Amino acid sequence: MGIFSRFFNKRNNKQPAPIKNTVPEEKKTIRKAFGVYCHGHHNTSGKMLCPKCNALLMTAMTKIQRCPYGITKPLCHICETPCFGQKQTIAFRKIMKNSRKGMFLRHPIMFIKQKLKEWGFAYMKQKQSQKK
């Protein structure tokens, strides 16, 4: 029994890891990123977004609900099979990329969690390619 055994539950090898629904957290992060981007580039304020960003955000929210990966989906801005059309995918990825600095300054914990997830998916992808 180690020092940290009180804090970390031991899982039996027979028991699989629980599946976590990542969709609500993904939606929250995307909403915040769109807000940061639109406020910085289109001079909006509060919860209001410009019509173009709002339309793309609503499309993204709808597509997330209909994701073919289900609740264990990868992050939308690094997904290999995007649900949007090509123009929308490019615009979505541009917004997510350009909002990184603002997300780091305004929502640092959310930014760090998102980065850790990105690294986790990259690591998992690398391990899967090594097995083949």
pTM over 0.85: no
DSSP 46-94: TT---HHHHHHHHHHHHHHHT-TTGGGPPPGGG-SS-SS-HHHHHHHHH
pLDDT band at 8 (very low <50, low <70, confident <90, very high): low
Average pLDDT over residues 87-110: 94
Whether 16 shows a pLDDT value over 80: the answer reads no
Domain ranges of the chain: 21-127
Provide the pLDDT for residue 40: 92
